[in-house]
Amino acid sequence: MSSFGPKLPLTRDSADGFSSLKMIQDTIRQNLKMIILTNPGEKVMDTNYGVGIKRFLFSSKYNLTQAQIEQSIKDQVKFYMPAVIIRKIDFRVQQEQNTLSLAIFYDIPDIGTKDLIQIVL
């Protein structure tokens, strides 16, 4: 069966050898997650790729940082995934558990889909 690419993290699959992404929505969701989690300079041959969300975790200026994160995500998606339109980004900080949660609502107009990705750090 055809696929759009490997599913990350790599896992064995008896049908294809490795688990594959068979739907375009899953591929876009995975690519969006990779943009957010990759640090700038980490991708070989493209030092501008990535938001590097983890570098913002210990920033002391939350409001400024939230605006920086949101702008960085929008800029990266606009450049690397122009078929995706970010509608809304929700931030939740849980001081007790030392976690940052992101909920990114986005549209894929070319295929008429709305989706959501949630990342907890």
Question: Whole-prediction pTM value?
Answer: 0.82
Residue 59's pLDDT is 66
Confidence class of residue 99 from pLDDT cuts 50, 70 and 90? confident
* Tens digit of each residue's pLDDT (9 = 90 or more) over 82-98: 999 999 999 987 777 77
Q: Which amino acid is at 118?
A: Q
* Tens digit of each residue's pLDDT (9 = 90 or more) over 1-21: 577 787 887 788 777 687 877
Give the DSSP per-residue string, 41-78: T-STT-TT----GGGGTT-S-HHHHHHHHHHHHHHHHH
Mean pLDDT over the full length of the chain: 87
Higher pLDDT, 28 or 11: 28
> Contact 20/13 with Cβ under 8 angstroms?
yes
Strands 20-21 and 5-6: antiparallel
pLDDT > 60? residue 103: yes
Share of the chain above pLDDT 70, in %: 93
pLDDT > 90? residue 78: yes
